[in-house]
Amino acid sequence: MLSLIIIATACTKKIKQQEDEIYSRHLQAHIKLTIISTPIPESKNEMNLLILNDGQDADKLRIKETLDSLFRKKLIGPLLVVAVHAGKREDWYGVAGKPDFENRGKKADKYAAFIDNELYASIKKKAGVRSFKSVVIAGSSLGGLSAMDIAWNNADKIDRVGVFSGSFWWRDKDQTDINYTDAANRILLSSIQQSRKRPHLKYWMYAGLQEEKSDRDKDGVIDVVDDTKDLLQIIKNKKVCPAGDIVYVESLNGQHDYASWSKALPGFLLWAFGK
């Protein structure tokens, strides 16, 4: 269980990793977790928390090795990573309450409720902390879309969000539909544009220039870059945070894969948990 890794890492200077599981009433499923932790500080309230989507791919992201390197160099603070394995990925990830035009993301609301109501409370209880120094949620691709949606709607618990190549193209109408427009039919962007929430969040987003060839608006910029920049512009226009709380990272040779995302990971961890 999660409590075991907390006790174990208190007695060693090594990064620890183990597998765990939690049952979700919301999703009606047993959900696997990969737990990675630095040594626990004397004051547990100095511990940071990273909730990571697509936890089944934590090894591909090289998060343990990267965390070990940065922590040994004393570049980041104490950190507990809870990497949530995806079940029915195209059902669980998306925008809560707003499935896409193919009815994908139909359980995104239940997944968000699992993170907010079940996982977070369980982590706090087992870690024995009243509150973490900071709470961050992150993900890549469709998991990044999910992370952004969950963060925006749960800023009472989450301080920062990190997105690697987010699927912000997620739409409620096929782009071949004659009535499709970017402004109206990209679900998350439209949702945040219309939102009255003013969450106190900090944002880190990454896009690679070699991720795809798709360019819906024929402006010479691939969609993953356009969609990410458009989302960040909406956030900036809403003036919900200082400009310095938004970081956008663009990689000239970055592709839509874990090899590229793992190269960007150290910069994200330093931004989120750096000393």
Question: Residue 53 maps to which CATH number?
Answer: 3.40.50.1820
- Sign of the C-alpha dihedral computed for residues 53, 197, 183 and 228 taken in this order: negative
pLDDT at residue number 7: 44
pLDDT at residue number 2: 55
Q: Could you give the CA distance from residue 90 to residue 194 in angstroms, rounded to a whole number?
A: 24
Q: Could you give the CA distance from residue 22 to residue 87 in angstroms, rounded to a whole number?
A: 12
- Residue 15 sits at φ, ψ, to 5 deg, of -75, 135
pLDDT at residue number 11: 47
Which ranges of the chain would DSSP assign to H, the alpha helix? 2-9, 58-61, 63-72, 89-92, 108-113, 120-127, 142-153, 182-185, 187-194, 223-238, 258-273
Q: Into how many domains does the chain fold?
A: 1
Question: For residue 203, what are the domain limits?
Answer: 2-273
Scan for tokens 């997620």, then name that residue: 170
pLDDT under 50 in the chain at which residues?
1, 4, 7-8, 11
- Determine the Cα angle at 226 with ends 221 and 227, to 5°: 150
